[in-house]
Amino acid sequence: MTLIDNTATALGNIPELLRNNNLQSITFDIPGACGVATWMRGLVEKMEDRGSWTNFLEVRLVQEGQSEAIPSGSVLQWCNMVEETHWNS
C-alpha cells in the first residue's frame, strides 16, 4: 500500500493514515476488489468524521498490472458497485 499526501509519500498503517490530514491518494496492489471495497467504505467514513477526506483526491487500484484511478467523489459509488457485483454473482 502506498499513501500519498501533498507534501511527501508515506508508508504506514491505518492509525497513522487517519492522523494524516494531508493525504491525497492511496494505491492498493490487490488480487481482488471486494475485500478492499468494504474496508475502503469504513476508511472513507472515518476520514470524513475526522475532516481529513476533503484533501483526498483518489484511490488507485492495481490488479494484474492494470491500474484504475477512482476519484474521491466516486469512491463510495465504486464500493457499492463492487459489493453489489460480488453479492449478485
Helix (H, G, I), strand (E, B) or coil at 78: helix
| Cβ atoms within 10 Å, residue 38 | 13
At 5-62, the pLDDT tens digits run 444 334 444 555 555 556 677 776 766 777 778 888 888 888 888 888 888 888 888 8
Q: What are phi and psi of 8, to 5 degrees?
A: -165, 170
Is 0.85 topped by the overall pTM?
no
Spatial neighbors of 15 by CB under 8 A, at least 6 apart, are: none
Nearest residue to 82 (alpha-carbon basis) of 48, 40, 27: 40
